[in-house]
């Protein structure tokens, strides 16, 4: 329930996004130069919203905008400060142990990539801010080579209730994020 709320909140926030340029030839040249990439290394690019999590007690997600640049070996999440692109986070494909989708890859608007020490939740979006399912599939396929698996299910796969609560305006359950890849 907690992650469904976060996912719905993040999707609502997508409508307030600003467009990060990446489709024009000059944009691509700037991206390659600023991120030190060769054209043949790039598999796909799309605008994303993302959150990173450490394992343990879950803190609320405040999605950040970025340009997702998928290469053959890593996913680069880059910020854009006109006219430059700067790497914020690099997720190495070799570090990812599995992915998780709440619904099949053809319909899920987001995905989780689970590494040994952290998880990243990503919402790829088209320029019109609708979920970019095709590019999400490319990200999953590229990041999960070598027999790594994609899990499909609910947040119960990666969230465990601690049995404790937090008092505020209402009582909320404290939950832990766990890596579902070894379960």
Round to whole Å and give the CA distance between 67 and 77.
6
How many residues are there in the chain? 183
Strand-pair category, 84-92 with 96-101: unpaired
Q: What is the pLDDT along the chain (183 residues), one digit of tens a residue?
A: 444 444 434 444 444 557 899 999 999 999 999 999 999 999 999 999 999 999 998 888 899 999 999 999 999 999 999 999 999 999 999 999 999 998 888 888 999 999 999 999 999 999 888 999 999 999 999 999 888 999 998 888 888 877 787 777 776 777 888 999 976
- Say how many Å lie between the first and final Cα of the chain, rounded: 21
Beta strand pairing status for 64-71 and 42-54? antiparallel
Token digits of residue 97: 């142990």
* Rounded Cα distance, 100 and 180, in Å: 8
Q: Tell how far CA 60 is from the center of its chain.
A: 15
Q: Residue 138: what are its φ and ψ, rounded to 5°?
A: -65, -40
């Amino acid at each position: 329930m907690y992650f469904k709320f976060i996912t719905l909140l993040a999707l609502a926030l997508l409508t307030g996004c600003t467009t990060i340029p990446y489709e024009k030839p000059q944009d691509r040249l700037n991206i390659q130069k600023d991120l030190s990439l060769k054209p043949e290394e790039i598999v796909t690019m799309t605008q994303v919203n993302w959150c990173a999590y450490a394992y343990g007690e879950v803190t609320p997600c405040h999605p950040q905008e970025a340009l997702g640049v998928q290469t053959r070996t890593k996913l680069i999440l880059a910020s854009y400060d006109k006219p430059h692109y700067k790497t914020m986070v690099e997720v190495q494909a070799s570090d990812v142990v599995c992915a998780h989708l709440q619904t099949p890859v053809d319909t899920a608007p987001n995905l989780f990539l689970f590494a040994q020490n952290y998880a990243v939740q990503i919402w790829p979006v088209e320029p019109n801010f609708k979920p970019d399912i095709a590019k999400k599939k490319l990200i999953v396929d590229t990041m999960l080579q070598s027999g790594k698996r994609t899990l499909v299910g609910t947040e119960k796969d990666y969230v465990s209730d601690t049995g404790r609560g937090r008092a505020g305006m209402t009582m909320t359950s404290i939950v832990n994020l766990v890596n579902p890849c070894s379960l």
